[in-house]
Amino acid sequence: NDIDVRMEVWDNFGTFAKAFMTMFEITMSPGGWNRTGRILIRTVSGSYAIFFVAYNFIVSFAMIRIITAVFLKDTLNVAASDQEAVMREQMKQNEKLVARCKDAFMRADTDGTGELSLEELQTVSETQEFQAWMRANELESHEISGIFHLLDDGNDGVLTFDEFFQGVMRLRGGARQVDMISLMSETKRVMDSMQEVRDSF
């Protein structure tokens, strides 16, 4: 009857605390507005239908956005962690590569001058250990003379470690054939000779 309906409406919305708890239940419980909302719509005003439809739409949209943001944040954190791990691994690989090149350079530098001559490089290239290192970097040990002249950017007949390391980085990896290395070396020599001729005039 009318008294029972009024009492139920009062129990749900009679005070601020009761209204707050009712709206909290409606917000957190899917379909929780069904009984309470229908009482207001049927007995108080049909306009409450607009309120509950709009309220549930806004709440549902907001919760979906929040859940999406949480998952997106987790995904970005995982991606960032993976990227950092890849970068750390790449840095470790680069450090190992520098260390191996440094070790090979020091073994070849038998006189301890910090520079490699062609004779020193040819001598060390005959050792199995250095040949294995060159194969690991996809360099041909029997083209050591061409490689030396190709790496000698200063054209001073010796290789510094920087020239050695940077040259190895240029030549390693990919499909580089012995003929290509020789061709590049000969081209470099011809260009140097032409420059000397120009300078003489």
Q: What is the pLDDT of residues 17-34, one digit of tens each?
A: 888 888 887 777 766 677
pLDDT at 114: 86
- What would the mean pLDDT of 69-91 be, rounded to a whole number? 78
Residue 31 buriedness (CB in 10 A; 0-12 / 13-18 / 19+): exposed
Give which of 107, 103, 120 is closest to 159, Cα–Cα.
Answer: 120
Contact call for residues 117 and 157 (beta carbons, < 8 A): yes
Q: Answer yes or no: is pLDDT of 133 > 50.
A: yes
Q: Pick the residue with more confidence: 29 or 51?
A: 51
